[in-house]
Amino acid sequence: MSGVSFSLLTLNSWKCDGHYTQRMGLLTRGVIDLAPDVVALQEAFVAEDGSADSAKRLAAATGLRAVQALSRPKLRSLLGREVASFSGQALLTALPVERVDNVVLPSSEADGGRMAQVVQLRVGAHPVTVANVHLSHVRGDAGDALRQRQLQALLERLNQVGPASLTLVCGDFNDPLDAPALRDFTGAPWHLQDSFELAGQSRDPTSLDASGNGQVLDHVLVVPSLSRATVRVEAAATVLRVDRPDARGITPSDHSGLQVTCRLG
C-alpha cells in the first residue's frame, strides 16, 4: 500500500502529581526517543503564574509546536506550594495545523469543566482530524451515563465538522471499550474501531488501580464513517509504561502511553 504514514502518541500526563520534575524528564526523553509526529496529552498541567507548563516544556525540548485547550482550573500543589492552574488537553506536532476546535463536554456536579480538543492536521495531501479527549473519572451508574453522554457529544460535533481522510479519537476514556459506557459505540451508527485490533495487537494495561491491578483505560480509535481514505494501522504499541519504573521507582506518568502508526492511501 502506497501513501503517507504518521505516528501518534497519546498519554495522560498526570498533571503536576508525583515526582513532577523527574517525571517530565522521563517523558521528554521518551518522546524524543519515540519521535511521534503527533503527541496528544491529557491532564496537561499549566500554572497560571508561568512557573510550569508541561506541553510548553515538552515542545521546547522536541521542536514540536503545542496547541493547548486550558480547562479544569483549580489550585493544585506544585512542588510543595499551591498554585492556580489548569489541567486540560494539549496537542504537539510539527505538521501543519489547519483547524482547532475546543468542545465543551457534558458535566455533572461531581465532575465538571471537561472539554475535548479537536485538531485538523495536514499529513501530506491528507486532512487528518485528531480528537483528544479525557472522559469523566466518576464511577458507578452516574459515571457510566456521563461518559456515554460525553463521547456522544464529541462524536456529534465531529460529524458536524465532517469527514477527513482519517478521523481519530484518542485519550483517556476512563473505561475499557467493553464497559457499559463505551461498548455501544463500537456498533451502529459509529462503529468505532480499536487501532490495536486493526494492527493485530493485543492490549496491555494502561493504568493500575489502588490494588495494582491493570486496567485498559486509554485508547486510539478510528471513526470509519468520518474517514475517507484507505487506512492501514501499521503498528500499535504500549509505551512509556506505568508498570516499568526506573531505578528510582519513577515512571513518566500514572498511565502508560499508546503509540500508533497509520498509513493513508
pLDDT digits (tens, 9 = 90+) for 146-203: 999 999 999 999 999 999 999 999 999 999 999 999 999 999 999 999 999 999 999 9
pLDDT digits (tens, 9 = 90+) for 15-44: 999 999 999 999 999 999 999 999 999 999
Left (φ > 0), alpha (ψ -120 to 50) or beta: where does 63 sit? left
Total-model pTM:
0.96
Strands 4-12 and 38-47, bridge-based pairing: parallel
Domains in the chain (CATH in brackets) are 4-264 (3.60.10.10)
Task: Pinpoint the alpha helices (H) of the chain.
Answer: 20-34, 54-62, 140-161, 195-198
- Per the CB < 8 A criterion, the answer to whether 253 and 27 are in contact is yes
Q: At what angle do helices 20-34 and 54-62 cross, to 10 degrees?
A: 40
Place of cell 502506497: 2
The predicted structure's pLDDT at residue 66: 98
